[in-house]
Amino acid sequence: MEQRLTFKEVPKGWYDLMQNIEVYVKNSGLSHQLIHLVKIRASQINRCGHCLDMHHKDAIKEGETIQRLYSLPAWKETPFYSEPERAVLNLTEVLTPISDSQPEVIEDAFNKVAAHFSKPEIANIVMMINQINSWNRIAITFGIVPGSYQG
């Protein structure tokens, strides 16, 4: 498999814009554990092999447990996630395939997150979900080969 487009081939400033959002999310006050869970869950939904490889490696490096990582596709059926994490994972599952989500489903997911997070935190959560979905679409379209990430 050969990568179709590299980050060296994108317009000047393009990659920096994406990285600036990454830095913002990382410094937003959201737990890094939650950020990893969202990045992995969205990447699972989007079937982004490169992002799954990257975010599993990063999550493990930062202390996430293997059990929580391999159980993530079944987070609703397992006791390994807190209620705030469950609310954010639910919102991730609603917003990632957004064309499949009805307004009342989005409102319900928002309300579940609002029970645990402030409005500024919710804005950061939505930014985080949007960012990983953008990266997934970029990695898939560019043909970034899974397994190449070194962290």
Q: What is the pLDDT of residue 149?
A: 82
Q: What is the CATH number of domain 30-142?
A: 1.20.1290.10
Residue type, 127: M
Crossing angle between the packed helical segments 103-114 and 83-95, to the nearest 10 degrees: 160
Dist. CA 118–CA 101, nearest whole Å: 23
| CA dihedral (102, 45, 36, 150) positive or negative | negative
Domain map (residue ranges) of the chain: 30-142
pLDDT tens, residue order, the chain (151 aa): 789 999 999 999 999 999 999 999 999 999 999 999 999 999 999 999 999 999 999 999 999 999 999 999 999 999 999 999 999 999 999 999 988 889 999 999 999 999 999 999 999 999 999 999 999 999 999 999 998 788 7
